[in-house]
Amino acid sequence: MYAVVDVETTGGKYNEEGITEIAIYKFDGSEIVDQFISLVNPERPIQPFVVQLTGINENMLRNAPKFYEVAKRVVEITEDCTLVAHNASFDYRMLCTEFNRLGFSYQRQTLCTVALAKKLIPEQASYKLGKLVRSLGIPLSDRHRAAGDARATVKLLKLLLDKDSEKTIVKQVLRTKEQDQVTRKFLHLVEQVKPVTGVYYLHNQQGDVIYIGKSTNMRKRVNQHFTGKSRKSLKIQLETHSVSTEETGNELIALLKEVDEIQLHKPKHNRVHKNDSIRFGLEEGVTSTGYRFLRIAHAQDNIRYVTTFKNLNNARKLLYFFTQKYTLCLKLVGLESPKKACSYEQINQCLGACVEQESVESYNKRVKQCVDRLSFQSPNMLLIDKGRTHDERSIILIKDNEYKGFGYVNLNYQITNIDMINTIIAPMKNSRAARHIIQQFVRKNKVKEIIHLDEAP
List of domains in the chain: 2-163 (3.30.420.10), 169-271 (3.40.1440.10), 280-374 (no CATH), 381-455 (no CATH)
Q: pLDDT grade, residue 414 (50/70/90)?
A: low
384 or 401: which leads in pLDDT: 384
Evaluate if residue 344 carries a pLDDT over 90.
no
Provide the pLDDT for residue 444: 78
| Mean model confidence pLDDT for the chain | 86
Evaluate if residue 456 carries a pLDDT over 70.
no
Alpha helices in 311-353 (DSSP H): 312-325, 343-346
Q: Please say whether the beta carbons of 112 and 85 come within 8 A.
A: yes
Cα separation of 113 and 117, whole Å? 6
Residue type, 104: F
429 or 345: which leads in pLDDT: 429
pLDDT digits (tens, 9 = 90+) for 139-196: 888 888 999 999 999 999 999 888 877 777 766 665 554 433 433 567 778 888 999 9
DSSP secondary structure string for all residues of 357-380:
-S-HHHHHHHHHHHHHHHS-SSSS
- Please tell me the least confidently modeled range out of 55-69, 173-187, 405-419: 173-187
Cα separation of 372 and 362, whole Å? 16
The average pLDDT across 329-346 equals: 81
Residue type, 368: K
Of the ranges 155-164, 214-223, 343-352, the best mean pLDDT one: 214-223
Evaluate if residue 457 carries a pLDDT over 50.
no
The average pLDDT across 82-97 equals: 92
DSSP one-letter code for 124: -
**186: three-class secondary structure by DSSP:** helix
Q: pLDDT grade, residue 405 (50/70/90)?
A: very high
Provide the pLDDT for residue 341: 76
**425: three-class secondary structure by DSSP:** coil
Provide the pLDDT for residue 453: 79
The average pLDDT across 381-401 equals: 89
Evaluate if residue 246 carries a pLDDT over 60.
yes
Provide the pLDDT for residue 402: 85
pLDDT digits (tens, 9 = 90+) for 289-320: 999 999 998 888 777 788 888 888 888 988 98
Provide the pLDDT for residue 128: 92
Cα separation of 25 and 31, whole Å? 10
383 or 304: which leads in pLDDT: 383
Cα separation of 204 and 244, whole Å? 11
Evaluate if residue 284 carries a pLDDT over 70.
yes
Task: Classify strands 82-85 and 2-9 as parallel, antiparallel or unpaired.
Answer: parallel
